[in-house]
């Protein structure tokens, strides 16, 4: 069943837009609380070892300081199975920047001053932070992020490479990357014993957290476990979130630190905001990757072998294995295919989700390799990809629910003026600039995660309330869910109010995997239909009905992925090597687009992040100290407005008949996938220089 | 950040006396550099003497030149019609620095005296001779992308980050200083130091020395001048390398030339050898390249910034070629 068209498909403006632009939207840290206490963390200045002494005397003497909490004073946590969250539970230091204490004070200034006065002595042990493909100790994780097998091997890649008329065998690398949403991670924690917002009886410890998170419910369930509370005695409130990109997809150490800190000042709310510098060690990051890509093909460009083998890091403290090579399993038709993931467990901060984990770095290697293959075969890169379209998913053998990659490529080529691309690299000039065009393919899986529930209520005066503990991290989810509910209830948009961002609301899965609209949206459609089924079009005041997200039998029968084609023009200054990207175009196939306005922002936002990954972003880890040296926005470069000239996205008008009641596959992440490769391929077309290591900086293009 | 007192000086003399009399005092301009350092723990003055509102905020004509008050904001200086007309190199340099918001706040004196962006200098958890003399230089053997290739020492390889100062170096600007002992005038070439064995000292100024103005001399040739900055992104990033150039042609020959380089040394680097190689010779691309090479013969790049040699050569040639073409 699909919902009728009406609000869905219209470019509705953001429902929370006015509150945000007028500054009245209260983000977690803005939340007015009575009598707040300010927390400032103390961080380890070694990458591995033990804390042997902490002198908080000078800190405690600063006027306004209430407490200095270290692993000696901190309460014991109930569950320390997740080592990242076992905050202040021992003297061990697992990475530089890890929390070793926290100072609480009446003002943020006093807290910060005092934190700088805490003297920590360490017993330092040798650390190991350097990722290399030839290093010792690489291991195969049990699974990679998303629950995928680490390795796959189909046919005989080595024999196919041996026999292939044309081969590509190259190493591609991507650096350590940091999500850095505009709003840093913040948490305001208050312990109570019943009576106020969270409910619960007197004498029963309860934790309320105003948090900047992509999932209030996952923060609640995790913190309940860590602090040994029943979930109903933890409440997480986070209606407004200033971006996350995955870094707020699961609770991190700062959430636990805020909770621990607040125990030291019972009844008073503790405010904790990470600084930008702290974000570089405490908010997750994308692992650096070393990717060996091998392609074998006939002279006609038809692939006989695809191998994508990846070496990447995780933290010795906790494993996170980015699924970098997983996309290569389904992308192109080739009888012989191999993928592998090897990890080094290093003394580095804990990596985590960052927009399109897996595909974002993986499609740099794969799609630059495809460009190299096109060049080796003397084929146009668009044509090469068209020749390697699989009829069915090469990995599962299932039919596609809708694979329109070639349409995206052809449509994009026509719109972008692809025929102007010089067949011979380095031959097109405009004044002192070398001009090049590049293309790359994108994909992202359709995810719908079970576990969401929506409840619809009616107030008797024409207004419906839809309640679901979802999150809008700037994506437009709030607006889109309102549109979906309006259509499912067959009522005007203005008659629906959606409540999100609170763990008191019915459960919802995390805003991740580009799954929100499809997962929460289908729960809302089901709840609206249940409501109309129970009450018809004239519901009584107080009428209420809810539903869980329905099961999705098609997900088992079809291979469901979004696809896209990314085009880029680059100009390289022949004197200085400076690279500019005057134009980018993405053409996407993502099922039904629920709101073209917010969808466009997601696509071009992803592409911009891809541009930034292509040309700018690089966390520089100093292996002598184990810290990210360029840990601020002056030194860790992210694309500025001046770098982003003309980024455009369009999409195929379609509905995926198998993608739930909405026919929409999710759009939050695909925009970043392939964008770096399109730019790298354009750089090659402009200069003849093949850059296989990101970011592509001017020094690499100097002649 | 440690607690501090704040004083808004009424006149330059009072400001000098207030700072000179207290070892922990510092002048405050726009605060875009100093306040960052206070937050990071790199600086901890116990008294800030605000000089941003002193009556030093005017650009005045002198005999053919300009006198720029120390408190003139970077954006105002860049937009000044006489600056744009007589010293386009300076307007361009200013506009290539920082961001619009920062330039609206940053002052002329503060810009001259901004400190290095060496990330180890800005991180109190790492050794740094400039911040803590004798503690060691973390940049050597570390991340050196933005570090020096000319004039560095084994004690410090930092670069001076200002764009504006590079243009002023090419223009032979003079810095007017009011100290406890009175006023003096320092050619900009004498203001800055190389690191040597005392990298904690960026300039020759003493505690309590207040910059009150910068004088730009009469230099008609500067009407044909340019600033080119090579950076890792299109705006809001420090120079990898930059060049300020003034080119005075006599037909196809170089009558006079001024060249200063940014992003390559502990100070704005006046490229005297290159200038000498060019003066009186032909204004050809070949000559420009040879001149750049003459200057760069003394370059000692670090592992990780070797590219700066070729990049400097490229940008010097480009800037001079563009100016020469403009002049034909
Ligand atoms: C993110 C970022 C990016 C930037 N990018 C660039 C760039 O690309 N190019 C560039 O050139 N700059 C850049 N800047 C630096 C910027 O130009 C400087 O911060 C600014 O010029 C400093 O001026 P201010 O008036 O704010 O100085 P303040 O911070 O007030 O002072 C700086 C220093 O000068 C001293 N001082 C101030 N006034 C006087 C005086 N009258 N006499 C004696 N001493 C004085 C202070 O005591 C202090 O030591 C950037 C800054 C930031 C934060
Ligand atoms: S280069 Fe200079 S400023 Fe940087 S760490 Fe070394 S001594 Fe400090």
Question: Which CATH number do you get for residue A101?
Answer: 3.90.1170.50
- Looking at the fold, whether A381 and A518 belong to one and the same domain comes out as no
Count of CB atoms situated within 10 Å of the CB of B267? 26
How far apart are the CA of B264 and the nearest CA of chain A, in angstroms? 15
- Looking at the fold, whether A378 and A320 belong to one and the same domain comes out as yes
**Cα-to-centroid distance, B120 and ligand 2 (Å):** 6
| Angle at CA of residue A414, ends A413 and A415, nearest 5° | 95
The model's pLDDT over A470-497, given as tens digits with 9 standing for 90+, comes to 999 999 999 999 999 999 999 999 999 9
Count of CB atoms situated within 10 Å of the CB of B21? 12
Confirm whether A11 is domain-assigned: no
The model's pLDDT over B84-111, given as tens digits with 9 standing for 90+, comes to 999 999 999 999 999 999 999 999 999 9
In order, the DSSP letters of A337-384 are EEEEEEEEEESSPPP---SSTTHHHHHHHHHHHHHHHHHHHT--HHHH
Q: Report yes or no: A61 at the B interface, CB cutoff 8 Å.
A: no
Catalytic residues of A: 669
How far apart are the CA of A615 and the nearest CA of chain B, in angstroms? 8
- Chain B residues within 8 angstroms (CB to CB) of chain A: 1-3, 39, 41, 117, 119-120, 122-123, 125-126, 138, 141-143, 228, 230-238, 240, 307-308, 310-311, 314-315, 317-318
3-class SS shares of chain A: helix, strand, coil, % to 5: 25, 25, 45
Closest atom of ligand 2 relative to the B127 alpha carbon: 5
- Contact status, residue B239 vs residue B229, Cβ threshold 8 Å: yes
Residues in chain A with CB shorter than 8 Å from the CB of B41 are 116
- Looking at the fold, whether A193 and A84 belong to one and the same domain comes out as yes
- Give the integer Cα–Cα distance in Å for A336 and A159: 9
| CB-based contact A576 B315, cutoff 8 Å | yes
Q: Report yes or no: A113 at the B interface, CB cutoff 8 Å.
A: yes
- Looking at the fold, whether A423 and A300 belong to one and the same domain comes out as yes
- Looking at the fold, whether A217 and A187 belong to one and the same domain comes out as yes
- Give the integer Cα–Cα distance in Å for A603 and A605: 5
- Give the integer Cα–Cα distance in Å for A267 and A264: 9
The predicted model scores a pTM of 0.97
Residue B23 has what pLDDT? Answer: 97
- Looking at the fold, whether A422 and A336 belong to one and the same domain comes out as yes
The radius of gyration computed from the CA coordinates of chain B, to the nearest angstrom, equals 19
Q: Is B125 left (phi over 0), alpha (psi -120 to 50) or beta?
A: alpha
- Looking at the fold, whether A539 and A477 belong to one and the same domain comes out as yes
Is the pLDDT score of B296 beyond 80? Answer: yes
| CB-based contact A629 B119, cutoff 8 Å | yes
Q: Among A528, A549, A570, where does a domain finish?
A: A549
Q: Among A282, A305, A331, where does a domain finish?
A: A282
Q: Among A512, A528, A549, where does a domain finish?
A: A549
Mean pLDDT across the stretch B284-297?
A: 98
Residue among A113, A637, A643 minimizing CB distance to B2: A113
Residue B317 has what pLDDT? Answer: 98
The model's pLDDT over A531-547, given as tens digits with 9 standing for 90+, comes to 999 999 999 999 999 99
- Peptide bond before residue A549 is cis, with ω within 30 degrees of 0: no
Residue A1 has what pLDDT? Answer: 41
- Contact status, residue A667 vs residue A588, Cβ threshold 8 Å: yes
Indicate the pLDDT class of residue B327, thresholds 50, 70 and 90.
confident
Residue A198 has what pLDDT? Answer: 47
Residue ranges making up the domain that contains A209: 31-126+182-243+249-282
Residue A4 has what pLDDT? Answer: 55
E strand map for chain B: 5-8, 25-28, 47-50, 59-61, 66-69, 174-179, 182-187, 210-216, 225-230, 241-250, 253-262, 269-270
Count of CB atoms situated within 10 Å of the CB of A580? 16
Residue A435 has what pLDDT? Answer: 98
Q: Domain total for chain A?
A: 3
Closest-approach residue (CA) in chain A for B310: A702
Domain B222-327 falls under CATH 3.40.50.1400: no
Indicate whether residue B259 lines ligand 2 (CB < 6 A). Answer: no
Confirm whether A461 is domain-assigned: yes
Please state the domain extents for chain B.
Answer: 5-49, 222-327
Residue A266 has what pLDDT? Answer: 87
- Looking at the fold, whether A64 and A160 belong to one and the same domain comes out as no
3-state SS, residue A141: coil
- Give the integer Cα–Cα distance in Å for B96 and A607: 26
The model's pLDDT over B224-236, given as tens digits with 9 standing for 90+, comes to 999 999 999 999 9
In order, the DSSP letters of A7-68 are STTS-PPPTTHHHHHTT-S--GGG---SS-EEEEEEE-SSSSEEEEEEE-HHHHTSTTEEEE
What residues pair up with A544 in beta bridges, in sequence order? A457
Residues in chain B with CB shorter than 8 Å from the CB of A575 are 314-315, 317-318
Residue with tokens 């619960």: A200
Residue A552 has what pLDDT? Answer: 86
- Looking at the fold, whether A67 and A202 belong to one and the same domain comes out as yes
**Cα-to-centroid distance, B272 and ligand 1 (Å):** 27
| CB-based contact B234 A113, cutoff 8 Å | no
Q: Calculate the alpha carbon distances from A77 to A83, A90, A91, A288 in Å.
A: 11, 11, 15, 32
- Looking at the fold, whether A519 and A575 belong to one and the same domain comes out as no
**Cα-to-centroid distance, A173 and ligand 2 (Å):** 29
| CB-based contact B307 A702, cutoff 8 Å | yes
Q: Which residue, judged by its Cα, is nearest atom 11 of ligand 1?
A: B162
Residue among B117, B235, B314 minimizing CB distance to A576: B314
Indicate the pLDDT class of residue B57, thresholds 50, 70 and 90.
very high
Confirm whether A603 is domain-assigned: yes
Confirm whether A7 is domain-assigned: no
Q: Within chain A, which residues score under 70 in pLDDT? A: 1-5, 194-203
- Looking at the fold, whether A543 and A579 belong to one and the same domain comes out as no
CATH number for position A571: 3.30.365.10
Q: Report yes or no: A4 at the B interface, CB cutoff 8 Å.
A: no
**Cα-to-centroid distance, B123 and ligand 1 (Å):** 18
Residue with tokens 């964008």: A675
Confirm whether A163 is domain-assigned: yes
Residues in chain A with CB shorter than 8 Å from the CB of B231 are 578
How far apart are the CA of B292 and the nearest CA of chain A, in angstroms? 13
E strand map for A251-333: 270-273, 289-297, 303-315
3-state SS, residue A213: coil
The model's pLDDT over B147-193, given as tens digits with 9 standing for 90+, comes to 999 999 999 999 999 999 999 999 999 999 999 999 999 999 999 99
3-state SS, residue B12: helix
- Give the integer Cα–Cα distance in Å for A133 and A310: 9
Indicate whether residue B68 lines ligand 1 (CB < 6 A). Answer: no
Mutational pocket test of ligand 1: of B27, B52, B206, B268, the residue with most ligand atoms within 8 Å of the beta carbon: B27
What residues pair up with A68 in beta bridges, in sequence order? A103
Indicate whether residue B118 lines ligand 2 (CB < 6 A). Answer: yes
CA A449: distance to chain centroid?
Answer: 16
Residue among A112, A622, A699 minimizing CB distance to B1: A112
- Looking at the fold, whether A414 and A523 belong to one and the same domain comes out as no
Across all residues in chain B, what is the average pLDDT?
A: 97
Confirm whether A142 is domain-assigned: no
């Amino acid at each position: 069943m699909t919902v009728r068209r009406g609000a869905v498909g219209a470019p509705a403006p953001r429902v929370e837009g006015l509150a945000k632009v007028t500054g009245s939207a209260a983000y977690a840290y803005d939340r007015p609380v009575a009598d707040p206490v300010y927390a400032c963390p103390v961080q380890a200045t070694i990458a591995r070892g033990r804390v042997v002494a902490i002198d908080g005397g000078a800190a405690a003497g600063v006027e306004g300081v209430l407490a200095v909490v270290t692993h000696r004073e901190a309460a014991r946590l109930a569950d320390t199975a997740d080592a990242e969250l076992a905050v202040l539970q021992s003297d061990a230091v697992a990475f530089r920047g890890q929390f070793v204490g926290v100072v609480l004070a009446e003002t943020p200034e006093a807290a910060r001053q005092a934190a700088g006065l805490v003297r920590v002595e360490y017993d330092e042990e040798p650390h190991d932070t350097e990722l290399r493909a030839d290093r010792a100790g690489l291991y195969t994780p049990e699974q990679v992020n998303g629950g995928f097998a680490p390795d796959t091997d189909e046919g005989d890649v080595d024999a196919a490479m041996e026999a292939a008329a044309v081969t590509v065998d190259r190493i591609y690398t991507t650096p350590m990357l940091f999500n850095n949403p505009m709003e840093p991670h913040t948490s305001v924690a208050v312990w109570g014993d019943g009576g106020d917002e969270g409910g619960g009886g007197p004498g029963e410890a309860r934790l309320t957290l105003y948090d900047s998170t992509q999932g209030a419910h996952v923060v609640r369930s995790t913190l309940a476990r860590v602090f040994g509370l029943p979930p109903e005695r933890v409440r997480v409130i986070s209606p407004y979130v200033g971006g996350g990109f995955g870094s707020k997809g699961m609770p991190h150490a700062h959430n636990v630190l805020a909770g621990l800190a607040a125990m030291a000042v019972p009844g008073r709310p503790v405010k904790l905001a990470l600084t930008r510098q702290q974000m570089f060690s405490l908010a997750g990051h994308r692992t650096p990757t070393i990717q060996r890509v091998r392609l074998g093909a006939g002279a006609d460009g038809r692939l006989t072998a695809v191998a994508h083998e990846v070496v990447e890091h995780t933290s010795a403290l906790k494993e996170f294995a980015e699924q970098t090579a997983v996309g290569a399993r389904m992308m192109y038709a080739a009888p012989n295919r191999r993928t592998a993931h090897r990890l080094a467990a290093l003394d580095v901060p804990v990596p985590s989700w960052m927009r399109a984990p897996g595909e974002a770095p993986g499609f740099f290697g794969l799609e630059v390799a495809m460009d190299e293959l096109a060049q080796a075969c003397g084929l146009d890169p668009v044509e090469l990809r068209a020749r390697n379209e699989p009829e069915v998913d090469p990995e599962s053998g299932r039919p596609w629910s809708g694979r329109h990659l070639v349409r995206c490529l052809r449509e994009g080529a026509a719109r972008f003026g692809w025929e102007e691309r010089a067949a011979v690299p380095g031959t097109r000039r405009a004044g002192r600039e070398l001009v090049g065009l590049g293309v790359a393919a994108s994909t992202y899986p359709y995810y719908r995660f079970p576990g969401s529930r929506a409840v619809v209520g009616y107030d008797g005066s024409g207004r419906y309330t839809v309640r679901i503990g979802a999150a809008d991290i700037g994506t437009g989810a709030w607006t889109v869910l309102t549109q979906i509910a309006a259509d499912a209830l067959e009522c005007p948009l203005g008659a629906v109010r959606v409540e999100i961002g609170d763990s008191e609301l019915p459960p919802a899965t995390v805003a991740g995997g580009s799954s929100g609209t499809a997962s929460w949206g289908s729960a809302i459609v089901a709840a609206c239909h249940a409501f109309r089924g129970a009450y018809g079009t004239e519901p009584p005041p107080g009428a209420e009905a809810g539903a869980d997200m329905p099961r999705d039998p098609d997900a088992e029968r079809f291979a469901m992925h979004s696809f896209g084609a990314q085009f880029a023009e680059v100009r390289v200054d022949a004197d200085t090597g400076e690279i500019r990207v005057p134009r980018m175009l993405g053409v996407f196939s993502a099922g039904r687009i629920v709101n073209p306005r917010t969808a466009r922002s997601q696509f071009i936002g992803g592409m911009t992040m891809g541009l930034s990954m292509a040309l700018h972003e690089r966390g520089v880890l100093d292996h002598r100290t184990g810290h990210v040296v360029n840990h601020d926005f002056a030194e860790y470069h992210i694309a500025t407005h001046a770098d982003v000239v003309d980024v455009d996205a369009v999409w195929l008008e379609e509905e995926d008949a198998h993608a739930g009641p909405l026919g929409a596959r999710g759009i939050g992440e695909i925009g970043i996938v392939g964008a770096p490769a399109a730019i790298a391929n354009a750089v090659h077309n402009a200069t003849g220089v093949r850059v296989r290591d990101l970011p592509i900086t001017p020094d690499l293009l100097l002649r | 950040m440690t607690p501090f007192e704040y004083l808004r000086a009424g006149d330059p003399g009072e400001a000098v006396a207030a700072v000179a009399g207290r070892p922990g005092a510092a002048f405050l301009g726009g605060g875009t550099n100093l306040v960052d350092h206070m937050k990071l723990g790199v600086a901890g003055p116990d008294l800030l003497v605000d000089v941003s509102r002193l009556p030093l905020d005017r650009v005045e004509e002198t005999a053919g030149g300009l006198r720029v008050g120390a408190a003139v904001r970077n954006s105002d200086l860049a937009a000044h019609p006489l600056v744009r007309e007589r010293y386009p190199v300076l307007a361009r340099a200013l506009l290539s620095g920082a961001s619009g918001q920062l330039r609206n706040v940053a002052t002329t004196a503060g810009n001259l005296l901004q400190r290095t962006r060496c990330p180890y200098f800005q991180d109190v958890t790492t050794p740094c001779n400039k911040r803590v003399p004798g503690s060691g230089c973390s940049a050597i053997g570390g991340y050196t992308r933005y570090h020096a290739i000319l004039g560095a020492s084994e004690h410090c390889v930092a670069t001076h980050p200002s764009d504006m100062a590079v243009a002023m170096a090419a223009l032979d600007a003079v810095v007017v200083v009011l100290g406890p002992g009175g006023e003096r005038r320092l050619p900009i070439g004498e203001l800055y130091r190389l690191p040597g064995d005392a990298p904690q000292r960026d300039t020759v100024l003493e505690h309590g020395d207040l910059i009150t103005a910068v004088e730009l001399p009469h230099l008609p040739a500067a009407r044909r001048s340019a600033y080119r900055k090579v950076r890792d992104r299109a705006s809001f990033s420090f120079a990898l390398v930059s060049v300020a150039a003034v080119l005075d042609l006599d037909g196809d020959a170089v009558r006079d030339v001024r060249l200063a380089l940014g992003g390559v040394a502990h100070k704005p680097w006046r490229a005297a050898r290159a200038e000498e190689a060019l003066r009186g010779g032909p204004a050809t691309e070949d000559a420009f390249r040879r001149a750049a090479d003459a200057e760069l013969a003394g370059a000692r790049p670090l592992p990780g910034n070797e590219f700066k040699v070729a990049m400097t050569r490229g940008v010097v040639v480009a800037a001079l070629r563009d100016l020469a073409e403009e002049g034909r």
